[in-house]
């Protein structure tokens, strides 16, 4: 499977590494060169030596997306630190490039729900944190 990950912060880079270890073809697009170093950190081989791809560029640039391989991506993961950027590029991946499987990180739970209803596969870390706090609180209270 070809996986394109846009935004390699803590979440994106960890998912990129595990996807590569699982034997998938992985391409990462990020506007910050530091993200490339993050992919190398703690690994025996560098990202490229391990057959990972890295493209420096911003997510809204169509050229950068194409260079990163969006046209043949099976999975697109939008995991930049901006909800709005993620929601826009996810829709570009889905509607313009027809990527079959699009996953979007959305911190704001309300928008995660609404865009989920519109057909995007949204993942909200905030929502999970809230649920975990709530269940921990309930367990303590019980």
Residues that bind other proteins (CB under 8 A): 60-62, 82-85, 87-88, 91-92, 95-96, 108, 110-111, 114, 118
Q: What CA–CA distance (Å, rounded) separates 52 from 34?
A: 16
Of 12 and 52, nearer to other proteins (C-beta) is 12
Q: How big is the chain by its Cα radius of gyration, in Å?
A: 16
Q: What CA–CA distance (Å, rounded) separates 4 from 68?
A: 7
The least CB distance from residue 70 to other proteins, in Å, is 14
Of 60 and 129, nearer to other proteins (C-beta) is 60
Beta bridge partners of 54: 28
Of 130 and 137, nearer to other proteins (C-beta) is 130
The least CB distance from residue 48 to other proteins, in Å, is 29
The per-residue DSSP string of 94-110 comes to IIIS--SEEEEE-S-HH
Reported in sequence order, the residue ranges of the chain that DSSP labels E, i.e. its strands, are: 2-6, 25-30, 53-56, 75-78, 101-105, 121-123
Of 21 and 96, nearer to other proteins (C-beta) is 96
The least CB distance from residue 22 to other proteins, in Å, is 31
What are the two backbone dihedrals, phi and then psi, of residue 55, each rounded to the nearest 5 degrees? -125, 130
The least CB distance from residue 84 to other proteins, in Å, is 4
The least CB distance from residue 122 to other proteins, in Å, is 13
């Amino acid at each position: 499977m070809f996986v394109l990950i846009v935004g390699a912060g803590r979440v994106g880079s960890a998912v990129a590494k595990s996807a590569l270890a699982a034997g998938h073809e992985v391409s990462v697009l990020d506007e910050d060169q530091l993200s490339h170093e993050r992919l190398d950190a703690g690994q025996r081989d560098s990202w490229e030596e391990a057959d990972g791809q890295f493209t420096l560029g911003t997510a809204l640039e169509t050229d950068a997306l194409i260079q990163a391989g969006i046209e043949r991506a099976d999975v697109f993961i939008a995991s930049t630190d901006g909800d709005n950027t993620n929601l826009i590029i996810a829709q570009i991946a889905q509607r313009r490039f027809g990527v079959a499987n699009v996953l979007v990180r959305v911190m704001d739970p309300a928008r995660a729900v609404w865009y989920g209803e519109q057909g995007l596969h949204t993942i909200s870390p905030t929502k999970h944190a809230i649920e975990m706090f709530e269940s921990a609180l309930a367990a303590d209270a019980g």
